[in-house]
Amino acid sequence: MIEITDLHKSFGPKVVLNGVNLSIAKGESMVIIGGSGTGKSVLIKCIIGLVKPDSGLIMVNGKDATKGDRDEFLEQFGMLFQGGALFDSLSVWQNVAFRLLRGPHKRSKEEAREIAIEKLRRVGLRPDVADLFPAELSGGMQKRVGLARAIAANPAIIFFDEPTTGLDPIMSGVINELVREIVVEMGATAMTITHDMSSVRAIADKVAMIHNGVVQWTGPIGEMDNSGDPYLDQFINARAEGPIEAVR
């Protein structure tokens, strides 16, 4: 479904991605882990075309992601941004239903609102938040609205940039389950970035760890604990000592 080959990206002198290779099969849930600032967000932005890579190939559904019809390409995606990125001039339900209210597959206002409220319920938000504005919500609530917006149009490929950061443990559990459901029931392909190891275990089919601009380790979730990779071991066991330096 998604094939990334030798992806490079630098910002000025700073090399962020230095030859990333990664493949994600259809209907699979891939979780990306790695230290802060290692380029996880940049990686998914490269795939969806928000950041232009310096070199490398990204294939989505057998087609070069940088070529062809942009609208058709973007239609398959849903994305939750790390910061939520809600439109603060629109109410919560209009945020969630943004895609349903526009474009070739436009629905009626009533129908769109109904779907939005249903999606809000799935991320644990009550219907009465629908008419509030993003600025009136807590950080964790904003995050969940962003999540509802990402899944509103039932996309085939979903990117979640830290879906559970800033949520309480119970809500994190709800969101983990939701991501799992989306993959299992809707058959979507998901790519999730998270720092939360309990999320990793709940969500992932496969795990990839980014370090020093490359995929340091990738494999099925079952092999994560016995990988023998010192970088991965240090990361998942949260140790200060090891090959990864704490000051970067």
Q: Under the rule (CB under 8 A), what is the footprint of other proteins? A: 45, 48-50, 71, 74-75, 77-79, 81-83, 85-88, 98-99, 102-103, 149
CB of 176 to ligand ATP, least distance (A): 18
Distance CA 203, CA 174 (A): 11
Type of residue numbered 95? N
* 48 binds, options Mg ion, other proteins, ligand ATP, none, Cβ within 5 to 8 A by partner type: other proteins
Pick between residue 45 and residue 122 the one whose CB is nearest to ligand ATP.
Answer: 45
* 38 binds, options ligand ATP, Mg ion, other proteins, none, Cβ within 5 to 8 A by partner type: ligand ATP
Distance CA 29, CA 48 (A): 17
Find where tokens 């969806």 sit.
48
Distance CA 125, CA 131 (A): 12
Yes or no: say if 9 and 53 are a contact pair by the CB < 8 Å rule: yes
Q: Write the DSSP assignment of 16-34 as a string of letters.
A: EEEEEEEEE-TT-EEEEEE
Q: How many CB atoms within 10 Å of residue 69? A: 9
Q: Which two tokens stand for residue 209?
A: 């760890």
Who contacts 98 (Cβ-Cβ below 8 Å, separation ≥6)? Answer: 87, 90, 149, 152
Pick between residue 38 and residue 216 the one whose CB is nearest to ligand ATP.
Answer: 38
* 187 binds, options other proteins, ligand ATP, Mg ion, none, Cβ within 5 to 8 A by partner type: none
CB of 15 to other proteins, least distance (A): 19
Q: Which two tokens stand for residue 113?
A: 């609102």
CB of 176 to other proteins, least distance (A): 23
Distance CA 244, CA 232 (A): 9
Give residues 28-47 in contact with ligand ATP (rule: CB under 6 A).
34, 36-42
Q: Mask of contacts with ligand ATP, 53-92, x by CB under 6 A?
A: -----------------------------x----------
* 85 binds, options ligand ATP, other proteins, Mg ion, none, Cβ within 5 to 8 A by partner type: other proteins
192 binds ligand ATP, rule: CB under 6 A:
no
| Residues at the site binding ligand ATP, with contacts judged by CB under 6 A | 11, 16, 34, 36-42, 82
